[in-house]
Amino acid sequence: MAGPALAAVPLVTAVSLHTGLPAAYIRAAPKKHGTWQQIEGAALDSRRIVLIDDTARSGASLLRGARLLRIAGAQVTTAVCVLDRDAGVASLLANHRMTLSALLTDPETAP
């Protein structure tokens, strides 16, 4: 599993600790010291990765994360978020060969 820093870090960490599955974290930009990496954590080559985030609003951070993970060799077909703001993110992700699952949907946008 993987998630963008900063909001998803505690979510990815908690799920990783609970399941024992490896975790990776995606920075908005490559680190400017140390490893100089944009993705830290578990090795990604050919792994199936679930992308985790706190909120799905526009889908931009999920798509950016999926792109970076795919470039790194991961297979990304699933995204999970705590709150889906129901702004068409599921359809957007479907256009990029991904499905979105959410724990909650914004009650103000739910049918």
pLDDT for res 84: 94
The 10s digit of each residue's pLDDT in 58-95 is 999 999 999 999 999 999 999 999 999 988 999 999 99
pLDDT for res 108: 77
pTM equals 0.89
Does the pLDDT at position 7 exceed 90? no
- Strand, coil or helix: 28: coil
Is the N-terminal amide bond of 92 cis, ω within 30° of 0?
Answer: no
φ and ψ at 40, to 5 degrees?
-120, 150
* Those residues with Cβ within 8 angstroms of residue 46's Cβ, 6 or more apart along the chain or in another chain: 73, 74, 75
Structure-token pair, residue 71: 């470039």
Does the pLDDT at position 32 exceed 90? no
Contact (CB, 8 A) for 79 and 108: no
CB atoms within 10 A of CB 99: 11
Does the pLDDT at position 110 exceed 60? no
Contact (CB, 8 A) for 79 and 57: no
When pLDDT is averaged across residues 31-35 and rounded to a whole number, the result is 84
Contact (CB, 8 A) for 47 and 74: yes
When pLDDT is averaged across residues 20-35 and rounded to a whole number, the result is 91
